[in-house]
């Protein structure tokens, strides 16, 4: 039976063929490091990494590719923004809908470094009211952090409104775009963010071990480097360079990953985020509608017509989420994620925390209508004991 992969919110699969080819070619025929040498293969690597950096800048509407600092994942990018900006006595705001990649760094700084943190609530599908952010602001609020799209319910947050509120009060705004970029048009021209963090291996269709942080020009002087080391530039100094992106990219890059990411970005530019988003939205809408009709299934999703990415979470009456996911895999070869999805505070709001979370279906660029039909039929089989 053919494997049906519906776990794209964890990591996208399959990747475009050009990604496999680029990584394989680099490993077999090139193998050079980035930014360390001047021979032909090393220069080719530098061009590939610059290609990836420039493509990401174009995708989000950044004016300068130097505003893109590479990280090893979205979590690393978020930690760079949080740890690099915040100091003792500062106040930060996050939300109950956020991922642990935001919640845990803030908790760490709260407990060990004297940071003040306010965690703003959300509604029953994870949507955050901007007015609640406004009420949480303080004179010493330095950072507001928010995810763009929920990795549990798919709901899109009012990020532009929250960014405006943050700037009105003199705070910086950090957007976690892990579940939106590549799946939804994301542009800093519409979202006036100060920092935007994302992985390269989800909607951007690159390999694992890649990610980036967008740093608005002018803020590099306020954002400290989280770790220091060799950058291949200003090697005469024993202090970290201040130039971007070198300031934030110590040590050797994950060149195989970034070469693959460059190829993925080329594929995305050819096929278009708008077209991919419409494809995924259509499939997700049909999956929600099919699941909604099944007795014993509870859908944890925003109402029809509300903006959401192609993430669909459900509960099945009488089944632990992990048990249901195991059945989907073993009996139907349908691969999903079950559990709390690193978002325990949101599950507490949804009422799914004590039950072990939800069963999450997340669609990607390569899913088809037959995948949706098979998933709905499998859930029907499980829920109705057929």
- Tens of pLDDT, residues 310-333: 999 999 999 999 999 999 999 999
CATH number of 4-13+273-383: 3.90.1150.10
pLDDT tens figures, 141-170: 999 999 999 999 999 999 999 999 999 999
pLDDT tens figures, 25-61: 999 999 998 988 889 999 999 999 999 999 999 999 9
CA 238 to CA 50: how far, in whole Å?
A: 26
- Bond before 313 cis per omega within 30 degrees: no
- Look at residue 159 in the predicted model and tell me its pLDDT: 98
Q: Is the pLDDT of residue 1 over 80?
A: no
Q: How confident is the model at residue 386 (pLDDT cuts 50, 70, 90)?
A: low
Nearest-CA neighbor of 184 among 311, 19, 30? 311
Q: How confident is the model at residue 237 (pLDDT cuts 50, 70, 90)?
A: confident
SS3 141: strand
pLDDT tens figures, 55-97: 999 999 999 999 999 999 999 999 999 999 999 999 999 999 9
Q: Is the pLDDT of residue 282 over 70?
A: yes
- Look at residue 234 in the predicted model and tell me its pLDDT: 83
> Hey, where are the domains in the chain?
4-13+273-383, 17-271
Over range 329-338, report the average pLDDT: 98
Answer yes or no: pTM beyond 0.85: yes
Residue listed under structure tokens 């269709």: 205
DSSP letters along 191-213, please? Answer: S--SEEEEESSSTT---SS-EEE
| 82 Cβ contact list (under 8 Å, min separation 6) | 92, 102, 105, 106, 109, 143, 145, 174
Across 227-236, 334-343, 353-362, least confident range: 227-236
Nearest-CA neighbor of 41 among 31, 54, 49, 51? 31
CA 322 to CA 268: how far, in whole Å?
A: 33
Q: Is the pLDDT of residue 261 over 70?
A: yes
Q: Please determine whether the domains at 4-13+273-383 and 17-271 fall in the same fold group of CATH.
A: no
Over range 197-207, report the average pLDDT: 98
Q: Is the pLDDT of residue 192 over 70?
A: yes
CATH number of 17-271: 3.40.640.10
Q: How confident is the model at residue 275 (pLDDT cuts 50, 70, 90)?
A: very high
Contact 383, 317 (CB under 8 A): yes
Q: How far is CA 107 from CA 92, 113, 139, 385, in A?
A: 10, 10, 20, 43
Q: Is the pLDDT of residue 243 over 90?
A: no
Across 212-226, 236-250, 363-377, least confident range: 236-250
- Look at residue 68 in the predicted model and tell me its pLDDT: 98
Q: Is the pLDDT of residue 230 over 90?
A: no
Better-predicted residue by pLDDT, 359 or 229: 359
Over range 285-305, report the average pLDDT: 95
Over range 87-110, report the average pLDDT: 98
Rg (alpha carbons) of the chain, rounded to whole number = 21
Q: Is the pLDDT of residue 232 over 90?
A: no
Helices (H), 319-368: 321-332, 344-350
* Mean pLDDT over the full length of the chain: 96
Across 12-16, 80-84, 108-112, 240-244, least confident range: 240-244
- Look at residue 38 in the predicted model and tell me its pLDDT: 87
Residue listed under structure tokens 């995708």: 59
Over range 274-292, report the average pLDDT: 97
Contact 145, 80 (CB under 8 A): no
Tokens of residue 136, six digits: 């949480």
pLDDT tens figures, 246-256: 999 899 999 99
CA 347 to CA 339: how far, in whole Å?
A: 10
- Look at residue 119 in the predicted model and tell me its pLDDT: 98
Q: Is the pLDDT of residue 369 over 80?
A: yes
The total of other beta-carbon atoms located within 10 Å of residue 240's CB is 17
């Amino acid at each position: 039976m053919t494997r049906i992969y519906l776990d794209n919110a964890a990591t996208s699969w399959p990747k475009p063929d050009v990604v496999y080819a680029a990584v394989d070619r680099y490993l077999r025929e090139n193998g050079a490091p980035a930014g360390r040498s001047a021979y032909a293969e090393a220069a080719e690597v530098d061009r590939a990494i610059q290609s990836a950096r420039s493509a990401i800048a174009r995708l989000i509407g950044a004016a300068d590719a130097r505003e893109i600092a590479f990280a090893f994942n979205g979590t690393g990018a978020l930690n760079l923004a949080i740890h690099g900006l915040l100091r003792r006595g500062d106040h930060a705001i996050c939300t109950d809908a956020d991922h642990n990649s935001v919640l845990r760094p803030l908790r760490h700084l709260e407990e060990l470094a004297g940071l003040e943190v306010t965690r703003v609530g959300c509604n029953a599908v994870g949507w955050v009211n901007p007015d609640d952010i406004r009420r949480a602001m303080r004179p010493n609020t330095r950072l507001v952090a928010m995810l763009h799209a929920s990795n549990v319910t798919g709901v899109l947050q009012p990020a532009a409104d929250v960014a405006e509120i943050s700037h009105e009060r003199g705070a910086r705004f950090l957007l976690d775009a892990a579940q939106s970029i590549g799946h939804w048009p994301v542009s800093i021209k519409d979202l006036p963010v100060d920092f935007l963090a994302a992985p390269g291996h989800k909607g951007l269709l690159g390999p694992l071990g890649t990610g980036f942080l967008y740093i608005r020009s002018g803020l590099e002087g306020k954002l400290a480097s989280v770790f220091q080391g060799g950058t291949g530039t200003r090697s005469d100094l024993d202090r970290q360079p201040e130039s971007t992106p070198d300031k934030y990219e110590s040590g050797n890059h994950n060149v195989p990953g970034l070469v693959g990411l460059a190829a993925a970005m080329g594929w995305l530019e050819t096929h278009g985020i708008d077209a991919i988003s419409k494809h995924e939205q259509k499939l997700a809408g049909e999956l929600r509608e099919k699941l909604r009709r099944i007795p014993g299934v509870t859908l944890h999703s925003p109402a029809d017509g509300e903006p959401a990415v192609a993430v669909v979470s459900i509960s099945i009456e009488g089944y632990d989420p992990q048990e249901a996911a195991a059945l989907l895999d073993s009996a139907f070869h349908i691969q999903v994620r079950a559990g709390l999805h690193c978002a325990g505070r949101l599950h507490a709001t949804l009422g799914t925390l004590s039950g072990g979370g939800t069963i999450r279906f997340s669609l990607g660029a390569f899913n088809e209508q037959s995948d949706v039909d098979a998933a709905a039929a499998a859930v029907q089989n499980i829920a109705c004991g057929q």
